[in-house]
Amino acid sequence: MHVKNKNINKGAAFFSIVFGLLFFLLFARFLFIQVTGVVDGQELPVLAEQKYSKSKIIEASRGSILDRNGIPIAQDTPAYTVIAILDESKTKNISEPNHVVDPAQTASKLSPIINMSVERLQELLTRDKDQVELGPGGRGISYKQMKEIQDMELPGITFIRDTKRYYPNGKFATHVIGFAQKDESGKVIGRQGLESTLDELLQEEDGVMNYKSDGYGIKLPFQNEEIIPPQNGQNVFLTIDHKIQAFLEDAMNRVETDYSPENIIGIVADPKTGAILAMSSRPSYDPNNIPPDSYMLNDAISLRFEPGSTMKIFTLAAAIEEGVFDPNEEYQSGSYTVGPNRVRDHNNGQGWGKITYLEGFQRSSNVAMAKLVNEKMNADDRLLNYLQAFGFNQPTGIDLPGEVNGKLLYRYPIEKVTTAFGQGTSVTPIQQIQAATAIVNGGKMLRPYIVNKIVDPVTNEIIKEQKPEIVGTPISEQTAKQVMDILESAVSSENGTGKPYRIEGYQVAGKTGTAQIPDPVDGYMRGHGNNIFSFLGFAPKDDPKLLVYIAVKKPKLTIHQSGSQPVSAIFNSVVKNSLHYLNIKPTTISDEKEAKVEKSRGIELDSVVGKQADRVAEELKSKGIDVFVLGSGEEIFEQIPFPSSVMMPGEKVLLRTEGPYLAPNLSGWSLRDVLKLTEILDLKPNFMGNGFVHKQNISPESPIKQGDYLVIEFIEPNPTINRYKEGESDLEDTKDDEGMEVESATEVEKPLD
């Protein structure tokens, strides 16, 4: 019989006790965790929630800024940041590397695309880091740049998707729109213009989606996710009309190239509502690529200066309202004494002998205005009261940042006289626009505005909408009508200084201005071209659709050029194209005038709708007109420009026949001609840059149809050799094309303060 070893029994008992204690401890621990839900001070439900709960950002978009027809002027667009992976451990298969293998070659290929030096890129690509961002050139690049880099299949180069603020038209109402940029936290913030003042409305707020996932991050089925929807910024619709703004920008670009002025200011308004249809100034900049020394002020509202003879409009209105203006009464022109000071007409005080006050206004006589104020209105505060009623003593309140007030100089007798013809007193262009609305609206003056409405981007609900606002009635309806008639005569009369602003087929009313520029050393600047040349005009005169103010400061003029040439080059181009665009038909002109137009100014287009395209094209080409026929049909369905338009040799006429249509080669086309194409085919334009067509998104001879997006990149031409010659700046008393002497502000001796 085998006897058990006592030691075995003791060992078994020991291990039983040990395992029993361990089981008890584990059970007690399990029970503790089950009851408390806490491990090492960490709550297990919280840890589980963190491990299996995921969040995903739902990106929102900053509100867009659009023209009155919904064409974007500022909007968010996809952008990409270039990332370089430098950590070799990211590569699992040497034949398919996931890191930058050859920094020198990679830098060489990336350099021309993201506009960074090879040396700088090599320095970034050889850093002792896992990955680097290739900024600043590699930050915020376009989809096109991203695809170009992607197609090169560079090892280790990848991208992070982002958005950036994009201005599709480049230098386009820049000082109105301003710009927005990312701050240190990556949030887009408005910095200038409407982007800044409307920042609270335009700001977006990203949304979040919370959901449960498994250990691999895959969303679990049958789980209700929690969604906090994104809040997109509000869309802002402006009163600006994209095409009229484009006409203004195009004309200003040409004058900037040809005359190299110090400043240009242009405003186009609807005189019956106060809505601003276009506003621009030079110098300007492209908000997509802002040079460090860019000029940021919106001179249309932020620059006050002595306006010159455009102020005579409102002096005339005051005199008519007071009943002291007799257009047939005669006075002695030339010079006029006010106390110790002498006022002279702009032709060196020679004058034109004894003439009527009507002719004096047409000739822009300073003496006429001085006598009206000093003798007829007794040089008291009556003129000041009218100028204040016209709003020259306070800002207009236009919904744009940075507006300054005018400064009425009206203390001494000579200041009261000089203010009457626009010297001494300084005002802003937008103040002149506001005051001029009273001439159109029977004496009722309208506040200018540029924000049309604020719209919810999701529901399209109009949150806020602006309406025309009457801010005063400085003159009566009868006075306003008489002023308009006289302003028309200043353009149509053979004596009128406004002759360069005539537009065939349309009656234009307006007043020229030639203001002296203060010189801190010698009172006022002297020399040919050292003035601010301007024109304030309405068209058509009997039912004005456009109110336009153009000012050009210190253009480089030859001895044979007058200040009206750069100003009229902008005014006439903008008005003619805008009236055609607004479908305002020109009035019929006589056979005699038609012959004169054809001989001296161009060819007036007849209606060619319904005629054979080949014959019409051949006939127009024989007259020097550049013709482009759209479609393959024989009969013309539509033409642009419209009938009665006056065409100059080299201008383009577009004729639409039966489709289908192929995209033309637009290389070298001007903005004006591209707009003709978008109008006749009802395309959606998206323009970048300025000047003439460089690239187009629809290849030549490719199909094109109504509603297609036409993306055009413009480049500015090489600056032409300016005809201005050094040494001519001191030449004075230059005559314009009609033989009239260029008006200059009166020379007076100012009393000391």
- In the chain, count H helices and then E strands: 21, 37
Q: Do residue 446 and residue 339 come from a single domain?
A: yes
- The CB-side HSE value for 96 (13 A sphere, CA atoms) comes to 2
**Cis peptide bond prior to 155, omega within 30° of 0:** no
DSSP assignment of 297-311, as one string?
--HHHH--B--GGGG
Q: Do residue 558 and residue 612 come from a single domain?
A: no
Q: Do residue 274 and residue 413 come from a single domain?
A: yes
pLDDT value at residue 50: 56
For residue 159, the domain's CATH number is 3.30.70.2110
DSSP assignment of 414-473, as one string?
HHHHHHHTTSS-BB-HHHHHHHHHHHHTTT-EE--B-EEEEE-TTT--EEEE----EEE-
Question: If you average pLDDT over each of 334-348, 472-486, 555-569, 603-617, which comes out highest?
Answer: 472-486
| Position 155, amino acid | P
Is 726 contained in some domain?
no
Pick the range with the lowest mean pLDDT from 173-187, 528-542, 736-750.
736-750
Is 753 contained in some domain?
no
- The CB-side HSE value for 488 (13 A sphere, CA atoms) comes to 17
The tally of domains found in the chain comes to: 4
pLDDT value at residue 559: 81
Contact 535, 573 (CB under 8 A): no
pLDDT 10s digits, 497-533: 999 999 988 999 999 999 988 887 777 888 888 999 9
What are the beta bridge partners of residue 640? 654
Pick the range with the lowest mean pLDDT from 127-136, 403-412, 604-613.
604-613
State phi, psi for 65 to the nearest 5 degrees. -110, 125
CA-based nearest residue to 396, from 438, 364, 333 = 438
Q: Do residue 435 and residue 556 come from a single domain?
A: yes
Contact 194, 400 (CB under 8 A): yes
Instruction: Please give the C-alpha separations between residue 367 and each of 61, 426, 531, in angstroms, as whole numbers.
Output: 60, 20, 20
The span from the CA of 741 to the CA of 333, in Å, is 15
Q: Token pair of 708, please?
A: 């297609």
Q: Look over the chain and give the mean of its residue pLDDT values, rounded to a whole number.
A: 84
Is 752 contained in some domain?
no
Is 5 contained in some domain?
no
Q: Is the pLDDT score of 49 beyond 60?
A: no
Q: Is the pLDDT score of 393 beyond 60?
A: yes
- For the chain, what percentages of helix, strand and coil (3-state, to nearest 5) are there? 30, 25, 45
For residue 641, the domain's CATH number is 3.30.10.20
Domain with 608, as residue range(s), is 603-715
Q: How confident is the model at residue 18 (pLDDT cuts 50, 70, 90)?
A: confident
Q: Is the pLDDT score of 257 beyond 70?
A: yes
For residue 392, the domain's CATH number is 3.40.710.10
pLDDT value at residue 737: 35
Exposed e or buried b per residue across 452-485, where buried means at least 16 C-beta atoms within 10 angstroms of its C-beta: bbbbebeeeeeeeebeeeebbebbeeebbebbbe
Is 194 contained in some domain?
no
Q: Is the pLDDT score of 567 beyond 60?
A: yes
The span from the CA of 741 to the CA of 731, in Å, is 13
The span from the CA of 640 to the CA of 581, in Å, is 10
Contact 68, 161 (CB under 8 A): no
Q: How confident is the model at residue 221 (pLDDT cuts 50, 70, 90)?
A: low
Q: Do residue 43 and residue 63 come from a single domain?
A: no
pLDDT value at residue 651: 73
- Among 191, 214, 233, which residue terminates a domain? 233
DSSP assignment of 537-583, as one string?
EEESSSS--EEEEEEEES----TT--THHHHHHHHHHHHHHHHHHTT
Q: How many CB atoms lie within 10 A of CB 622?
A: 8
Contact 549, 456 (CB under 8 A): no
pLDDT value at residue 207: 76
The span from the CA of 704 to the CA of 737, in Å, is 45
Q: Do residue 352 and residue 249 come from a single domain?
A: yes
Percent of the chain's residues with pLDDT above 70: 85
Q: Token pair of 596, please?
A: 């004169």
CA-based nearest residue to 199, from 190, 207, 208, 191 = 190
Using CB atoms within 10 A of its CB, is residue 427 exposed (0-12), middle (13-18) or buried (19+)? buried
What are the beta bridge partners of residue 188? 182
Q: Is the pLDDT score of 743 beyond 70?
A: no
Question: If you average pLDDT over each of 93-102, 177-186, 330-339, which comes out highest?
Answer: 330-339
Pick the range with the lowest mean pLDDT from 86-100, 539-553, 652-666, 676-690.
676-690
| Position 171, amino acid | K
pLDDT value at residue 649: 60
Is 688 contained in some domain?
yes
Continuous segment of H or E residues that includes residue 120: helix 118-125
Is 586 contained in some domain?
no
Average pLDDT over residues 551-559: 92
Q: How far apart are the first and last CA of the chain?
A: 140
Q: Do residue 620 and residue 488 come from a single domain?
A: no
Give residues with Cβ within 8 angstroms of 522, minimum separation 6.
Answer: none
The span from the CA of 225 to the CA of 40, in Å, is 31
Q: Is the pLDDT score of 385 beyond 90?
A: yes
The span from the CA of 8 to the CA of 602, in Å, is 125
pLDDT value at residue 6: 64
Average pLDDT over residues 737-747: 36
What are the beta bridge partners of residue 242? none
pLDDT value at residue 453: 96
Active-site positions? Answer: 309
Q: Where are the alpha helices (DSSP H) in 170-241?
A: 174-177, 193-197, 199-202
Is 205 contained in some domain?
no
Contact 751, 411 (CB under 8 A): no
Average pLDDT over residues 319-343: 93
Which carries the bigger pLDDT value, residue 76 or residue 5?
Answer: 76
Q: How confident is the model at residue 315 (pLDDT cuts 50, 70, 90)?
A: very high
pLDDT value at residue 647: 67
Q: Do residue 226 and residue 300 come from a single domain?
A: no
Average pLDDT over residues 330-345: 92
pLDDT value at residue 69: 92
Q: Do residue 396 and residue 538 come from a single domain?
A: yes
Instruction: Please give the C-alpha separations between residue 49 and each of 45, 214, 228, in angstroms, as whole numbers.
Output: 6, 11, 19
Which carries the bigger pLDDT value, residue 427 or residue 617?
Answer: 427
The span from the CA of 112 to the CA of 96, in Å, is 25
Measured torsion, CA atoms of residues 432, 435, 438, 439, in degrees rounded to the nearest 10: -40
Pick the range with the lowest mean pLDDT from 230-244, 600-614, 687-701.
600-614
Measured torsion, CA atoms of residues 29, 33, 35, 41, in degrees rounded to the nearest 10: 120
Q: Is the pLDDT score of 42 beyond 70?
A: no
pLDDT 10s digits, 457-513: 989 999 999 999 999 999 999 999 999 999 999 999 988 999 999 998 899 999 999
pLDDT 10s digits, 162-214: 888 999 898 999 999 999 988 877 788 999 999 999 999 999 887 777 766 65
Q: Token pair of 69, please?
A: 């027809």
Q: Do residue 560 and residue 610 come from a single domain?
A: no
The span from the CA of 417 to the CA of 338, in Å, is 8
Percent of the chain's residues with pLDDT above 90: 50
Using CB atoms within 10 A of its CB, is residue 352 exposed (0-12), middle (13-18) or buried (19+)? middle
Q: How many CB atoms lie within 10 A of CB 407?
A: 15
Continuous segment of H or E residues that includes residue 182: strand 179-182
Contact 290, 464 (CB under 8 A): no
Average pLDDT over residues 237-264: 95
Which carries the bigger pLDDT value, residue 604 or residue 100?
Answer: 100
Q: How many CB atoms lie within 10 A of CB 3?
A: 5
What are the beta bridge partners of residue 355? 331
Which carries the bigger pLDDT value, residue 522 or residue 549?
Answer: 549
Q: Do residue 25 and residue 108 come from a single domain?
A: no
| Eight-class DSSP state of 376 | I
pLDDT value at residue 624: 77
What are the beta bridge partners of residue 503? 506
DSSP E strand stretches across 572-701: 603-604, 626-630, 638-640, 646-647, 652-656, 661-662, 684-688, 692-696
Contact 503, 489 (CB under 8 A): no
Q: Do residue 518 and residue 423 come from a single domain?
A: yes
